[in-house]
Amino acid sequence: MSLTRILRLGLWFFDEPNHSTQRVGWRSIVTVVKPTHQSAKVKKARIKKLLIANRGEIACRVMRTARRLDIHSVAVYSDADKRAMHVNMADSAYNIGPPPSRESYLCADKILAVAHDSGADAIHPGYGFLSENAEFAEQCQKEGVIFIGPPASAIRDMGIKSTSKAIMSAAGVPVIEGYHGDEQSETRLAEEADKIGFPIMIKAVRGGGGKGMRIAMTREEFLFALGSARREALKAFGDDAVLLERYVRSPRHVEVQVFGDQYGDCVYLFERDCSVQRRHQKVIEEAPAPGVSPELRRQLGVAAVRAAQAVGYVGAGTVEFILDPHDLSFHFMEMNTRLQVEHPVTEMITGTDLVEWQIKVASGERLPVRQEQLSPQGHSFEARVYAESPDANFMPGAGPLLHLSPPTTEPSVRIETGVQQGDEVSVHYDPMIAKLVVWGSDRQAALDKLRTKLAEYQVVGLDTNLEFLRRLTLEPEFIEGRVHTGFIEEHTETLLGERPVPQSAVVQAVLGIVLHDKAQALAQAAESKDPFNPFNTLTGFRVNGQLTRQIRLLHRQQEYEVQVVYEADSYTVTVKGVGTVQVSGQLDSSGYLTTQQDRQGRSRCKIVMQDAYTLHVFTLEGAYKFVLPQYDGSGAREGGVSDSLVASPMPGVIDKVVVCPGDKVKAGDPLVVVIAMKMEHVIKSPKDGIIERILYQAGESVSKNVPLIQWQE
């Protein structure tokens, strides 16, 4: 007589500021699973203590599920992360060395030593670092520690892209044309590139996250792009081998979430569209993919399961495909043998906790559902909030989070982060601040919610991509779901072009300054010996006449000249060349400004004074940074180029100096290679000239806008 068991799968979300969890009752799925006989080869083991071999938001994400399952969490951290959120959140934490990843998070021996010292039963690698390191997975098995991931053989087969292509081809999964051979000489690779034809994609065979990836548009660009890809791959993955692929113009990047257990069962949890990318890294992901029919969804899923079963896959994995937007044909690109950054959108549309599945499958349990019991519900978006400068080719940044106010959460909104106000985004690691994840009953509802929550996000202290993300959600073709991997480049003008600042934002900024100064004057007067003197207590008080004040503001390259006339209970604000308004307002202690303008009604915004000269205005229509022009830093503009100097456009570490004193260079020639946030950035010459001095050498750390090279006069 057969038995049945009921498994209710619910989503759990994390309230980041309070480090608390809550059960979501808005959606769940109920499945009936008939148990089958357990394989004799599978050993069940209860995981009581879990080491998370990672940092940041993914470490916090795993810990939330571990806490809900009553599993003790163990954190590891570098010297740079000793005060990090994931360290404070863990039940116990261990230092594993200096900030560079190769001396800490990539040191398998150190992490296994912590596993033994702490008594951890299992290690969850997160993503990045050691998550796709077959040798580490093998070492865990040898030392009796459960590795929460696929078998080492699957990591090896799929982690080496050349091997995975051959396996997929043999398994009947469509594969794109390219060179995946072991011969790695420059001569052979150049010959193969000529055979395939340009433009061509160069990829690190052990790559991921856009690292070790370059596009060579012509034969002349190939060798430099090859060298750059190899250097970056060696630093990120310890292997500089590459493969070559025909570069498909304007494809869609569609990936399928698969999950296998130790009994040979495997399911797909539908597809995600990750086409919107910059520097080959994803910016916004969504599930399900727009415009994918139920039949195409099934074909993608079946191909992904076939790919997973071809290597005996266990656990969470993602099979990535290139999808032709015209004929909807698809080709295997690669398989990520780990949890993906964008896994929350899959959780949102399936009502699952994939980390819980990972832990239970690694413990020897069966998959909780069968394929026929799964169906996508609603729509979900994930937007990655980065410390970067979209206007400067998405240059990554680092620095303090002086003010950090994420949007309010609710059951259909998740904020996944590993930082909080007062923390610093480190030059040593990925510059992602958070992931904003939303769910809606359909794509339009989810997109509206994403746009609203992006407008609520406030960050001060470093540049972010928040305004860029908001513009993306307003782009008509994105709204219609017509996306591809070249979408950002195709829409650069509308996504990154200069936009005029509305008069209301200028007025709010000026009123914020006036009311801030008034509050300071009142506070100083209260502490003075003569607190009732009206000249001390009331900013703008005059016996005869009205105070008129001139304020100049700079927003990017646009300067605004503003005149403010102090009235009895309001202000007359004139923006030169724009117009005059009568406005009153109140600035509360938390920085929220409520204004009443003639003809425009009441509005509310957040005012943040970064320092005495820099003001941020956060509105639902956008965020604006104003600078009082009498203080414009050192005078150096971002990008760091002057007549006599070339400066670093970002904080980082000098990896390579390409030129020497006395060299003649032309505009566009590479000068210096800087490593920042695990990515290689080539600083090129802005003009023709002769090098006089090299101010920094390989291995030295540099700050943003620090001069690196001096020209001859």
Task: Report pLDDT digits (tens) over 303-325.
Answer: 999 999 999 999 999 999 999 88
Catalytic residue list contains 338: yes
CA distance 640 to 638: 5
Q: Is the dihedral of CA 602, 608, 611, 613 positive or negative?
A: negative
pLDDT exceeds 60 at position 7: no
What is the tens place of the pLDDT at every residue in 87-145? Answer: 999 999 999 999 999 999 999 999 999 999 999 999 999 999 999 999 999 999 999 99
Tokens of 530: 């003569």
Q: What percent of the chain has pLDDT over 70?
A: 88
| pLDDT on residue 456 | 96
| pLDDT on residue 545 | 52
DSSP letter string, 22-82: EEEEEEEEEEEE---PPPTT-------EEEE---HHHHHHHHHHHHHTT-EEEEEE-GGGT
Can you list the positions of beta strands (E) in 324-370? 330-336
CA distance 314 to 149: 7
CA distance 493 to 504: 24
DSSP letter string, 568-580: SS-EEEEETTTEE
Task: Name the pTM for this structure.
Answer: 0.79
Task: Identify the DSSP state of 227.
Answer: H
The answer to whether residues 425 and 415 touch, using CB atoms and an 8 Å cutoff, is no
List 61, 67, 272, 338, catalytic entry: 338
When pLDDT is cut at 50, 70 and 90, the band that residue 60 belongs to is very high
CA distance 561 to 575: 6
CA distance 193 to 184: 12
What is the tens place of the pLDDT at every residue in 149-159? Answer: 999 999 999 97
| pLDDT on residue 36 | 36
pLDDT exceeds 70 at position 633: no
98 prior amide bond cis, ω within 30: no
CA distance 624 to 498: 12
Average pLDDT of the chain to the nearest whole number: 87
Residue of 431, 466, 342 lying closest to 681 (CA atoms): 431
